[in-house]
Amino acid sequence: MRIYGYCRVSTKEQNLDRQLIELEKYVDNRFIFTEKQSGKDFDKPQY
């Protein structure tokens, strides 16, 4: 079974580090998706 992780912060001033540290305890780094953008914007590179 493959486990995926997702980290998101909504402003450029926020940092993903704490979320990544916790996720990396359980999820292979290759399967962690990160995003630094507001959830209200639909104009994202991932869409």
Task: Tell me the catalytic residues.
Answer: 10
Beta bridge partners of 5: 32
**16 CB-near residues (< 8 Å, 6+ apart):** 7, 9, 34, 36
